């Protein structure tokens, strides 16, 4: 039996964050499971951009699995680094399905899937977001997929943990910026830190969050700082992905 771990990410064309986030998760899994690690992206646009701009070749999920099959691997653990079970996760699962009759494949869950994941994330940030005189606003990607419910649910979990100065918004889903700002304005706090609730710190974090969201908060009287730390850089988040893999390792 020949075993491999295939780490499946949406991907990023920002090389300054690629290895600090996706690469860091991959290294964590390599260290924990002592198994061959391979990389695949679900974004064809990013794969194309990296190839044409930098000469970097990244496999799609089905390309990676085909190579693993032809190389004699029989036991594959797929680790989606997606935030939730949304569009990109569904796409990855459809690609994986094609190989179920060729290899034994198990898939671990994305970052925010089960109720315990919400509690773990709140606990991680409870020890990081400690200034009660500051608002912390996470920016997630968001989606029209029903899994977008993860974002308002996470916001609720922060409030349930008495972290009433923490808000969760999204670029392309609910709650959006126009929803978050009025709630922020109901507080007496004028200092805000914006943070990406994304694995990598790419276009959305550097442009939507650090430019557009920052300006909008400032236009509403807030003093704004930006924390450009992708979730993949945080060791406790890396541990969550490792724990999710551990849950299917013996199956």
127 is catalytic: no
Taking CA 85 as the corner, what is the angle to CA 67 and CA 250, rounded to the nearest 5 degrees?
60
Tokens describing residue 166: 């923490």
Q: How many C-beta neighbours within 10 Å does residue 213 have?
A: 24
Taking CA 192 as the corner, what is the angle to CA 190 and CA 197, rounded to the nearest 5 degrees?
155
Pair 81, 232: CB distance under 8 Å:
yes
DSSP state of 103: S
Q: How many C-beta neighbours within 10 Å does residue 187 have?
A: 12
Distances (CA, A) of 209 to 68, 112, 236: 38, 21, 23
Concatenate the DSSP letters of all residues of 50-98 into one string.
HHHHH----B-HHHHHHHHHHTT--EEEEEE--SSSSHHHHHHHHHHHT
Pair 52, 30: CB distance under 8 Å:
no
Catalytic-labelled residue, pool 14, 82, 141, 145: 141
Reading the chain (251 residues) residue by residue, the pLDDT tens digits are 899 999 999 999 998 899 999 999 999 999 999 999 999 999 999 999 999 999 999 999 999 999 999 999 999 999 999 999 999 999 999 999 999 999 999 999 999 999 999 999 999 999 999 999 999 999 999 999 999 999 999 999 999 999 999 999 999 999 999 999 999 999 999 999 999 999 999 888 999 999 999 999 999 999 999 999 999 999 999 999 999 999 999 76
pTM: 0.95
Q: How many C-beta neighbours within 10 Å does residue 35 have?
A: 15
């Amino acid at each position: 039996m020949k075993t491999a771990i295939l780490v499946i990410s949406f991907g990023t064309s920002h090389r300054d964050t690629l290895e600090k986030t996706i690469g860091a998760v991959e290294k964590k899994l390599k260290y924990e499971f002592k198994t061959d690690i391979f990389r695949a992206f679900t974004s064809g646009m990013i794969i194309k951009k990296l190839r044409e701009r930098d000469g970097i070749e990244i496999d799609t999920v089905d390309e990676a699995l085909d190579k693993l099959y032809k190389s004699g691997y029989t036991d594959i653990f797929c680790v989606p680094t997606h935030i939730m079970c949304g569009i990109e996760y569904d796409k990855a699962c459809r690609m994986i399905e094609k190989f179920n009759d060729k290899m034994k494949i198990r898939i671990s869950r994305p970052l925010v899937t089960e109720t315990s994941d919400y509690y773990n994330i709140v606990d991680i940030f409870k020890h990081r977001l400690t200034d009660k005189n500051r608002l912390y606003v996470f920016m997630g990607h968001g989606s029209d997929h029903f899994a977008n419910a993860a974002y308002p649910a996470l916001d609720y979990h922060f409030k349930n943990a008495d972290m009433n100065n923490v808000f969760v918004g999204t670029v392309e889903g609910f709650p959006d910026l126009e929803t978050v700002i009025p709630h922020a304005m109901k507080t007496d706090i004028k200092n805000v830190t914006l943070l990406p609730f994304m694995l990598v710190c790419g276009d959305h974090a550097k442009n939507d969050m650090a430019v557009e969201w920052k300006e909008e908060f400032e236009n509403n009287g807030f003093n704004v700082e930006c924390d450009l730390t992708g979730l993949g850089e945080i060791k406790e988040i890396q541990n969550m992905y490792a724990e999710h893999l551990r849950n299917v390792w013996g199956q």
